[in-house]
Amino acid sequence: MKPILALDFGGTKLAAALVNPGEREWWRYERCLSPMNADASTDLEIMRSLIHSLLQGTTPSAIGVSFGGPVDATTGTVKLSHHVPGWENIPLQDLLTAEFGVPTTVDNDANVAALGEYRFGAGQGYDSLFYITISTGVGGGWVLNGKPWRGASGMAGEIGHMVVDPSGPLCLCGKQGCVERLASGPYMAQNARDILANRAKLHHGTILKNLVADDLNSLTGKLVSEAAAQGDDIAQAVLQKSAWALGVGIGNVANLINPQRFILGGSVTKASASWWSVVQKTARETALPEVSLEIVPAALGDDAPLWGAVALSGQ
């Protein structure tokens, strides 16, 4: 039996893997970081070289692809990437089908990761789940009645741009107080930076300032969570707001759709036990008491999109 080829075009990294049908471990696996000034053609070139070093002359039976950006899943055409220029309207499915001569399926990374968790991870045995990734951005993907639910124009699951604080800070999408604007790693860094730049709080946030040697531009979400763990008051407030925003979003989604499970992945979920408990508590307070609510960590970690790509390929 021929292996399945799974591809993951992420915002910062590219990964490719081969698995034999029915197996739960990669046969071969390759991954590398995107270069700093990557565009669609450099990403495609790097992915081609990963694929060739994986295949070594063999032919896969099918290709499944996770793409980090909006995709028209009916045609497998990438709409654009928010991180890498040049992806506008690239017919990725057609390109790969023509190049490798096998059936190829392409979908957005959150949808694909949801499918991966459903088939191989924390969603096994649940036929309705919402997967949320909280990382550089915040995105979500649905599995309903055991199938991906993409919505009328493929945009279902955009919890990142659900407004939870209408008078909150301005988001890249043009609205105020979106979940992503408060919960994502880069926005947590920005929120901490904004508070630190406020003179009224001069004597606060000293642990955070020390961690970056007073260079506020080098602040990251990860550093915010490290400073919070060391007791920094500003970092704790920022992290708490991130968890609160996500919890409100999840509680509202629970009221509306009531899936069996919410599965949370992405680097920000590594923050701390208290981040998790604020998410749980806020979601519980936002959902009606009669609405069942289960929020669990993703099981597949960084490999969720690749395993989802395997599932997407029909395996």
Q: Which is nearer to ligand ADP, 21 or 186 (CB)?
A: 186
Residues 192-231, mask of contacts with ligand ADP (x by CB under 6 A): ----------------------------xxx--x------
Q: Quick one: what does residue 270 bind among ligand ADP, Zn ion, none, with the CB cut-off 5 to 8 Å set by partner type?
A: ligand ADP
Q: Where are the alpha helices (DSSP H) in the chain?
A: 40-55, 92-100, 109-120, 179-183, 185-196, 206-211, 221-229, 233-257, 273-286, 304-312
Helix then strand then coil, % of the chain, to nearest 5 = 40, 20, 35
Q: Where are the alpha helices (DSSP H) in 1-105?
A: 40-55, 92-100
CA angle 302, 261, 307 (to 5 degrees): 30
CA angle 249, 254, 255 (to 5 degrees): 100
Q: Which of 84, 182, 207, 268: binder of ligand ADP (CB under 6 A)?
A: 268
What are the C-alpha distances in Å from 286 to residues 130, 249, 300?
17, 8, 28
Q: Which of 64, 76, 140, 185: binder of ligand ADP (CB under 6 A)?
A: 185
Q: Is 173 in the site for Zn ion (CB under 5 A)?
A: yes
Q: Quick one: what does residue 246 bind among ligand ADP, Zn ion, none, with the CB cut-off 5 to 8 Å set by partner type?
A: none
Residues from 228 through 267 that contact ligand ADP (CB under 6 A):
267
- Name the closest residue to ligand ADP (Cβ): 185
Q: Is 171 in the site for Zn ion (CB under 5 A)?
A: yes
Q: Which of 178, 248, 253, 298: binder of Zn ion (CB under 5 A)?
A: 178
User: What letter represents residue 56's amino acid?
Assistant: Q
Q: Is 49 in the site for ligand ADP (CB under 6 A)?
A: no
Size of site (CB under 6 A) for ligand ADP:
15
* Smallest separation (angstroms) from ligand ADP to the CB of 238: 10
- Token pair of 210, please? 């020390």
| Residue appearing with tokens 């701390």 | 272
- Token pair of 124, please? 């096994």
Checking DSSP bridges between strand 295-297 and strand 261-265, what pairing results, if any?
A: parallel
Nearest in space to 180 (alpha carbons), one of 197, 158, 151, 149 = 158
Residues 132-161, mask of contacts with Zn ion (x by CB under 5 A): -----------------------------x
Residues 111-150, mask of contacts with ligand ADP (x by CB under 6 A): ------------------------xx--------------
Q: What are phi and psi of 232, to 5 degrees?
A: -70, 125
Q: Under the rule (CB under 5 A), what is the footprint of Zn ion? A: 161, 171, 173, 178
Q: Under the rule (CB under 6 A), what is the footprint of ligand ADP? A: 10-12, 135-136, 185-186, 220-222, 225, 267-268, 270-271
